[in-house]
Structure 1
């Protein structure tokens, strides 16, 4: 099992934002985390990535307990994410945004960086080559020297995914990746995520409100409402679950 989450909970004062959240994600799987606004989905992502410390429960990646570790450590272990609101380094170039993520993989230390040792030069060539290959794979190589904030919205979303992939993750968390996209961009993104799963052999957990997007992409769904899981299963099963219908549309007919 790639990811095991057991009884994860988070209290903010008297509010239980996440209540006994438990899931398992297999290797090379796309899972959707859905639910109404305020259901606790992004809080779950923040718990998985160390932004918040859980009140109870644990997170294991490939059997290793990574609960409440620092975000950079969890990234090094193999969990990367994007954000609901794009958080690129907007004054850096497209290439520099990717290089920032690659640099924690380098094998030289402070000494090597200061004195520009042989291994420093070798590693800098390697990470640049890998960054350019990623940009080429996602159609952004020709724009690598442009400021990130000059890209159209859809390409900024794509760059954020590339930056996350540059950390060599085992699990990629996507927080509303299709938000603000037009239908053509959404269809292209769906193909992109399918390609990521196949080409990079990683698993994807995504939050999304576009149900057509979710139903066409995810192999399994987990539905949250008021911090609690109210349904799990294949998309067709979840779609027809009365509790899910009620949570999204009010009282089910």
Structure 2
């Protein structure tokens, strides 16, 4: 599904990511881990068009997507969440989800200005589908609340709902468990597995919580100073001397 070859990027002569090879197959959950500053979010930013790689190739479903704008990558059915929550905080929970449908609307600007039957029908459909998604995540009762008023864990969930509303085939999750307590993290593990099966998607995630990563990932790639130092199953990564030295520590 996703194939990354020799992916590299420089900022002012500093190589933030160097020669990364990575694949995500259909139906896989792949983890990308490493110390702070290892280049993980930079990889996500290249995959989603925020940064243009200095070198290398990103192929998605056989098509090269290097250099595409983020909105065009979304149209290719790649969606993401962010390390720092980026909801529209002063919009309602429902409107945050409805925004993800915008790139698929079929009505015209004139339809929206005049509020034609075509506009009304499609907007009603978008609203209904958004509420159905919110129900799945038990957020429908808060659809009229401002996003900024949700508890932190629910804001994280809302980001995932908004990403899923774009109907992705590949979902990128950037530290989805950040700020969650242990029970919330356990619940999130079940949720991510359920999302993969229910929505028939592949998932690439960045995460520091090793219990979550080891518990749900089919394979894991490890970055250190922008370079991949290991890749393998959770067991292989847990016992890899390079990974233990660079990131996990002896007590892992």
Q: Fold-level match, TM-score > 0.5?
A: yes
Deviation per CA, 1:75-122: give whole Å up to 9, x if none: 111111111111110100100100111121111121221222222122
User: Following TM superposition, where does structure 1 have runs of at least 4 consecutive aligned residues deviating by more than 2 angstroms?
Assistant: 249-252
CA distance in 1 between partners of 2:183 and 2:55 (Å):
42
Comparing 101-110 and 130-139, the one that deviates more? 101-110
Name the counterpart of 2:4. 5
Name the counterpart of 1:35. 34
Name the counterpart of 1:68. 67
Deviation per CA, 1:143-173: give whole Å up to 9, x if none: 0000111111100000000001111111111
State the number of aligned residues: 251
The CA deviation at 1:221 is 0.2
CA distance in 1 between partners of 2:110 and 2:217 (Å):
46
Name the counterpart of 1:88. 87
For the 8 Å contact 1:103–1:127, the answer to whether it is kept is: no
CA distance in 2 between partners of 1:66 and 1:248 (Å):
31
Name the counterpart of 1:223. 222
Over the aligned positions, Cα root-mean-square deviation in angstroms equals 1.3
Name the counterpart of 1:53. 52
Deviation per CA, 1:9-55: give whole Å up to 9, x if none: 00011210000111111111100000011100000000000000100
Alignment of 1:127 with 2:126, yes or no, is yes
* Contiguous gaps of at least 5 residues in structure 2: none
Name the counterpart of 2:154. 155
The CA deviation at 1:251 is 9.2
Name the counterpart of 1:169. 168
Deviation per CA, 1:218-238: give whole Å up to 9, x if none: 110000001111101100001
CA distance in 2 between partners of 1:72 and 1:249 (Å):
36
Name the counterpart of 1:140. 139
TM-score (norm 1): 0.97
Name the counterpart of 2:180. 181
CA distance in 1 between partners of 2:48 and 2:142 (Å):
30
